[in-house]
Amino acid sequence: MGTKNILVTGGAGFIGTNFIRQVLVEMKNWRVVNLDALTYAGNLANFQDFSTSLTNRHRFIHGDIRDKSLLARLFAEESFDIVAHFAAESHVDRSILGPEAFLETNVEGTFHLLEASLKSWKERGRPKRFRFLHISTDEVYGSLGPEGYFTESTPYDPSSPYSASKAASDHFVRAYFRTYGLPTIITNCSNNFGPYQFPEKLIPLMILNIMEEKPLPVYGDGKQVRDWLYVIDHCDGLVRVLQEGRPGETYNIGGGAERQNIDVVHMLCDFLDVRLDRTGRKSSRNLIQFVSDRPGHDRRYAIDASKIRGELKWSPAHKFEEALEATVDWYVANKDWVEMVRSGEYRKWIEINYDRRG
Ligand code: NAD
Ligand code: TYD
């Protein structure tokens, strides 16, 4: 395959960082332009350890996907073969307390990116190899009962301002394929975990609270189910989709690892207790506190990944428990990173979100 010039939006966030790190190592003929507004969730230090050979293929641009003139300049300057769109406001709890930013970045931002992509694609004679990959979530499908799975044809039924904004953006992306022929692909993935995840999401938050002997806030009865996907497996799947996926299609990407939240928290306690020598009566499980539930809390997510498995021969390469343990070890080994991302704003968020839950 020839050289590819890729625009990655939100490349300083959790999944974008893992994607860029993986792509630059594995795809020697790919060059990445990383456009990120560096909100609280974005961190350039994620690339600090890059060798010169990787840095040479990574151009960082500090900017906002809502900035139309910046997009116009960037698309004129660079001939992108691929736009991999990760940038988003991504945290459900934040969307409940402040939905506007979600509408602005996830819907308007995606719209401006589509417009810039369409203009550039048309000006270049509609190259067939161009791809606009929109990274979305299984949360657009709403909540499952105890049975069944989300397939690519499950009707959209989002519950939170976050998932509503992602659903709206998915509709725009699909419309740009159907109306203008822009070669777009949508992926809807399940809950990711792994290195570089901002410690406001369940797994990294619990890891750090266990390490610091702080309360472990479990929402409601803790029996909600998520289908956990190791970020490394997710990024492999995204590369497969970029290489072999068909324009206009949607691919669901799931980890095939359904677990209740409380079981995940127990597992994290047990992994860390061994490392912190806290077994028996000192177990970190004593730190668990059941707190008031999230409004509109989806009960269960679970993905039917048979389409990507059959069509693109992708399936997760890692076992959940092993990947979770590796993630725990990453946070233990990267305390400096954790300190760096826990800004004053982070501390304020923890106070606002957890004080009101009691
Ligand atoms: P994240 O919150 O860790 O990172 C988002 C990144 O986008 C940050 O670097 C932030 O600075 C950047 N950003 C935010 N607003 C921006 C703007 N207006 N312009 C430019 N950059 C902006 O999110 P993540 O967990 O890495 O998720 C990436 C994508 O994957 C999102 O679209 C999210 O909806 C989707 N997704 C995530 C998960 C998950 O479990 N994390 C699951 C399903 C789908
Ligand atoms: P989260 O990581 O926020 O992802 P999402 O809401 O996108 O699934 O939450 C995962 C699950 O963990 C979800 O059911 C809410 C629950 N949760 C808690 O019980 N306590 C917490 O402190 C957090 C952040 C999440």
The answer to whether residue 115 sits within a structural domain is: yes
pLDDT of 354 above 90: no
| Rounded Cα gap, residues 12 and 47, in angstroms | 8
User: Rounded CA gap, 329 and 105, in Å?
Assistant: 33
3-state secondary structure of 30: strand
Distance of alpha carbon 190 from alpha carbon 228, whole angstroms: 6
Burial 89-112 (b: 16+ CB within 10 A, else e): bbbbbbbbeebeebbebbbbbbbb
Averaged pLDDT for residues 269-294: 94
CATH number at residue 15: 3.40.50.720
Tell me the best of 7, 9, 15, 106 to mutate to test the pocket of ligand 1, counting ligand atoms within 8 Å of each CB and taking the most.
15
Residue 308 lies in a domain: yes
Closest C-alpha residue for ligand 1 atom 19: 64
Q: What pLDDT, in 10s, does the model give residues 74-109?
A: 999 999 999 999 999 999 999 999 999 999 999 999
Whether 186 is covered by a domain: the verdict is: yes
CB of residue 66 inside a 6 A radius of ligand 1: yes
Query: Is 86 near ligand 1, meaning CB less than 6 Å away?
Result: yes
Q: Judge if pTM exceeds 0.75.
A: yes
Task: Give residue 287 CA to ligand 2 midpoint distance, Å.
Answer: 17
Ligand 1 within 6 A of CB of 192? yes
Cα–Cα separations (whole angstroms), residue 38 to 22, 35, 46, 65: 20, 9, 12, 11
Q: How far apart are CA 267 and CA 161, in angstroms?
A: 30
Q: How confident is the model at residue 280 (pLDDT cuts 50, 70, 90)?
A: confident
Lowest-confidence segment of 216-225, 248-257, 274-283 by average pLDDT? 274-283
Question: Is the CB of 328 inside a 6 Å radius of any atom of ligand 1?
Answer: no
pLDDT above 70: residue 1: no
Query: What are the two backbone dihedrals, phi and then psi, of residue 226, each rounded to the nearest 5 degrees?
Result: -125, 150
pLDDT at position 224 is 98
Provide the pairing of β-strand 184-189 with 250-253. parallel
User: Sign of the C-alpha dihedral, residues 89, 84, 190, 229?
Assistant: negative
| Counts for the chain of helices (H) and strands (E), in that order | 14, 13
Please tell me the distance between residue 277's alpha carbon and the centre of ligand 1 in angstroms. Answer: 35
Cα–Cα distance for residue pair 206/190, rounded to 1 Å: 19
Q: Is residue 266 part of a domain?
A: no
- Is the separation of the CB atoms in 333 and 275 below 8 Å? no
Does the CB atom of residue 189 touch ligand 1 within 6 A? yes
Could you tell me the pLDDT band of residue 344, with boundaries at 50, 70 and 90?
confident
Q: Which residue range forms the structural domain that includes residue 249?
A: 4-192+229-254+297-318
What value does the mean pLDDT of the chain take? Answer: 96
User: Nearest C-alpha to atom 4 of ligand 2 is from which residue?
Assistant: 201
CA dihedral sign, ordered 225, 231, 237, 242: positive
Structural domain includes residue 233: yes
Q: Is residue 348 part of a domain?
A: no
pLDDT at 76: 96
- Confidence at 358, pLDDT banded by 50, 70, 90: low
161, part of any domain = yes
Mean pLDDT score, 11-38: 97
Report which protein residue has its CA nearest ligand 1's atom 41. 192
Q: Which of 25, 43, 39 is nearest to 197 (CA)?
A: 43
User: Tens digits of per-residue pLDDT, 36-61?
Assistant: 999 999 998 899 888 888 889 999 99
In this structure, is residue 346 part of a structural domain? Answer: no
- Number of domain units in the chain: 1
**Residues annotated catalytic, as ranges:** 138-139, 162
Ligand nearest to the CA of 349: 2
